[in-house]
């Protein structure tokens, strides 16, 4: 029997790092569902129609270079508004969630839409300022030229688009454990996440 851990939250909340650590802790598979939308966003920037791109998406696309850049993140949040794009990506995510051996899926709508019956649900959040600071530091470390105010504006724009869309908006499931990581370092956040999952096990 599969065991599914749904981890949702806004950009740079720490959910990616937490999800990887939680998957490692339980020896579960991990699917970063943002990569699906980023891969479709990448194809849109290359001139493809997003719904057709989502229907044609292959597992290999998730390993493509250049999916982590800000331009692709914005394109991802634009294609993510389109209901047909979201619909085309549902089966792949649900199949992954039920894989033998357990799965961690992280995204925006895992606990609400993709896996409403997940055995454990977490919603990871932090203030926009803290998240923008983390993203800024990460981009600088990767040699991307930017400034904090641009990253903050970008974070707020993406939050707004993700939260206000009609289909599967960014929202904590009613039965999710909410973890605000604004004042936590990553070690403390990972420990709190594992404690919350253990409580559901």
Q: Give 134 or 158: the residue with its C-beta nearer to ligand C5P.
A: 158
CB of 78 to ligand C5P, least distance (A): 8
34 is in an annotated binding site: no
Question: Within 10 A of 35 (CB to CB), how many other CB atoms are there?
Answer: 20
User: What's the full length of the chain, in residues?
Assistant: 201
CB nearer ligand C5P, residue 109 or residue 177 = 109
- Where on the chain is the footprint of ligand C5P (CB under 6 A)? 11, 33-34, 37-38, 73, 76-77, 80, 107-110, 158, 162
Sign for the pseudo-dihedral over CA of 92, 195, 163, 11: negative
Query: Do the annotations mark residue 12 as ligand-binding?
Result: yes
Pick 25 or 68: Cβ nearer ligand C5P? 68
Does 15 carry a binding-site annotation?
Answer: yes
- Phi and psi at 61, nearest 5°, equal -60, -25
- Considering the complex, state which of residue 67 and residue 197 has its C-beta at the smaller distance from ligand C5P: 67
Residue whose C-alpha is closest to residue 106's, from 187, 11, 42:
11
Give the H or E element holding residue 121.
Answer: strand 120-125
121 annotated as ligand-binding = no
User: According to the annotation, is 168 in a ligand binding site?
Assistant: no
Q: How far is the CB of 122 from ligand C5P (least distance, A)?
A: 14
In 3D space, the residue among 169, 191, 187 whose CA is nearest the CA of residue 10 turns out to be 169
Q: Which uninterrupted H or E stretch holds 180?
A: strand 177-180
Write down the least CB distance from residue 61 to ligand C5P, Å. 14
Shortest Å, Cβ 98 to ligand C5P: 17
d(CA 41, CA 26): 31
Binding residue numbers for ATP? 9-17
């Amino acid at each position: 029997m599969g065991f599914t851990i749904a981890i949702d939250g806004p950009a740079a909340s720490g959910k990616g790092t937490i999800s990887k650590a939680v998957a490692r802790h339980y020896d579960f598979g991990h699917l970063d569902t943002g990569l699906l939308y980023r891969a479709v966003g990448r194809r849109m920037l290359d001139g493809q129609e997003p719904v057709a791109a989502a229907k044609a998406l292959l597992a290999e696309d998730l390993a493509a270079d250049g999916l982590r850049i800000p331009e692709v993140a914005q394109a991802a949040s634009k294609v993510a508004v389109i209901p047909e794009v979201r619909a085309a990506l549902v089966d792949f995510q649900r199949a992954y969630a039920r894989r033998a051996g357990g799965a961690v899926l992280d995204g925006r709508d895992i606990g609400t839409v993709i896996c409403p019956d997940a055995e454990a649900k977490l919603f990871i959040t932090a203030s926009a300022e803290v998240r923008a600071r983390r993203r800024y530091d990460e981009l600088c470390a990767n040699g991307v030229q930017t400034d904090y105010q641009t990253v903050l504006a970008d974070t707020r724009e993406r939050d707004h688009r993700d939260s206000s869309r009609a289909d599967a908006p960014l929202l904590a499931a009613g039965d999710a454990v909410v973890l605000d990581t604004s004042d936590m370092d990553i070690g403390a956040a990972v420990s709190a996440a594992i404690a919350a999952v253990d409580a559901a096990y």
